[in-house]
Amino acid sequence: MYTQGLDQAGKSDAAGAETKQQLEAFQARIDTEEKIEAKDWMPEAYRRTLIRQISQHAHSEIIGMQPEGNWLTRAPTLKRKAILLAKVQDEAGHGLYLYSAAETLGISRDQMVADLLSGKAKYSSIFNYPTLTWADIGAIGWLVDGAAIMNQIPLCRCSYGPYSRAMIRICKEESFHQRQGYEIMLTLARGTDEQKAMAQDALNRFWWPSLMMFGPSDAASKHSAQSMAWKIKRFSNDELRQKFIDVTVPQAEYLGLTVPDDKLRFNEETGHYEHSDIDWQEFFDVISGNGPCNEQRMAKRRKAQDDGAWVREAAKAYAAKKLAEEAA
């Protein structure tokens, strides 16, 4: 998902000063579905897990503006342009609330941005794929936002209060995004042969990367068990992925599009779709920096940061001058 890099993050060295009693009392609060708030005591590992997860989510929103922003100047109608612009603006807004939610855990936005730019922090692998046609904007809304919602709805019940509350608003907006994406696909599917081909091509390219958004299979996911116990995570990667496939395949059928998986079939007994194995090598390549657009996305983010340095300095200098004037 937007925080799939967590599953590879590795170390979780809890601070030694935490007593068994404190940890048990904390877990008891979690077990009774109490929300943990910013000023409450929490285990260091819980705090760090949340900082990683929320900041990765925020970074994903910010980097995610790029593949869609790629079609803003070329959107085919004024209505589509306005809708896409509003959507990209929502993503900037999501980034902003999420950075703020993470800041309640004692890390600054500047630090999180520095970690993104240095490559220390991750963002979702999906945004390292290119948007080559207008249909990709439809596919992103339908599949990528659709997959994001699957993961994010349970996060509205996450044990950490500020994150769960931010997710409630984000999910409402994501749901609009998903519908606008599907509506683009529907329009293309009912359009000319060229438009239908464009829609099919977008599905072909975005299907597997969308499934990878849920992160590695449960067997390979290192942090899932602890996150589940802390109620940061409510469902496993594979459960959410299956739920997404079950919901999405009939939508593709309704569009008259073919899901690019020869082994896809509905199992009457389980009530679920079965699918081919996911190419995890591709997933690990992309999250470790070797996707089609990793370099490009980071270069653009760094350039914006560098180009804006003199502006931020000016704003700071001006604010300091005004403060000094007021004090005088």
Partner 1 sequence: MTPDAALIRYVTRLGDNSLILGQRMIELVAASPELEEELANANFALDYIGQARMLYTYAGEREGRGRGEDDFAFLRPEHEYRNLLLVEQPNGHFGDSTVRAVLFESFYVLLLDALTRCGDEGLAGIAARAVKEVRYHLKHSSQWLVRLGDGTEESHARTQQSLNDLWRYTGEMFASDDIDKIMRDEFDGPDLNVVAEQWRKAVAAIVSAATLELPEDGWMASGGKDGRHTEHFGFLLADLQYMQRTYPGATW
Residue of 17, 78, 219, 328 that binds partner 1 (CB under 8 A): 78
> 125: which residues sit within 8 A by CB, 6+ positions away?
4, 209, 212, 213, 283, 286, 287, 291
Task: Indicate the residue among 109 and 179 with the shorter CB distance to partner 1.
Answer: 109
Q: Is 195 in the site for partner 1 (CB under 8 A)?
A: yes
Q: Is 303 in the site for partner 1 (CB under 8 A)?
A: yes
Characterize 155-188 residue by residue with b for buried, 16 or more Cβ atoms within 10 angstroms of its Cβ, and e for exposed. bbebbbbbbbebbeebbebbeebbebbbebbbeb
Residue of 31, 74, 108, 289 that binds partner 1 (CB under 8 A): 74
Q: How many helices (H) and strands (E) does the chain have?
A: 13, 2
User: Where would I find the H helices in 190-308?
Assistant: 193-212, 224-229, 237-255, 280-287, 294-307
Round to whole Å and give the CA distance between 291 and 96: 26
Q: Is 324 in the site for partner 1 (CB under 8 A)?
A: no
Residue of 13, 33, 110, 194 that binds partner 1 (CB under 8 A): 194
Q: Which stretch binds partner 1 (CB under 8 A): 124-132, 202-210, 226-234, 302-310?
A: 302-310
Smallest CA-to-CA distance from 128 within 146, 114, 144, 110 is with 144
Q: Is 88 in the site for partner 1 (CB under 8 A)?
A: yes
Task: Indicate the residue among 168 and 299 with the shorter CB distance to partner 1.
Answer: 299
Round to whole Å and give the CA distance between 252 and 236: 24
Q: How many CB atoms lie within 10 A of CB 30?
A: 18
Site for partner 1 in 129-188 (CB under 8 A): 134, 184, 187
Least Å distance, CB 214 to partner 1, is 26
Q: Is 191 in the site for partner 1 (CB under 8 A)?
A: yes
Task: Indicate the residue among 311 and 327 with the shorter CB distance to partner 1.
Answer: 311
Q: Is 323 in the site for partner 1 (CB under 8 A)?
A: no
Round to whole Å and give the CA distance between 281 and 141: 25
Distances (CA, A) of 243 to 16, 221, 256, 271: 39, 18, 21, 11
Site for partner 1 in 101-120 (CB under 8 A): 109
Q: Which stretch binds partner 1 (CB under 8 A): 43-51, 77-85, 225-233, 242-250?
A: 77-85
Smallest CA-to-CA distance from 7 within 196, 236, 180 is with 236
Q: Which stretch binds partner 1 (CB under 8 A): 59-67, 170-178, 214-222, 251-259?
A: 59-67
Task: Indicate the residue among 72 and 264 with the shorter CB distance to partner 1.
Answer: 72
Residues within the interface to partner 1 (CB under 8 A): 62, 65-66, 69, 72-82, 85-86, 88-89, 92-93, 95-96, 99, 109, 134, 184, 187, 191-192, 194-195, 300-301, 303-304, 307-318, 321
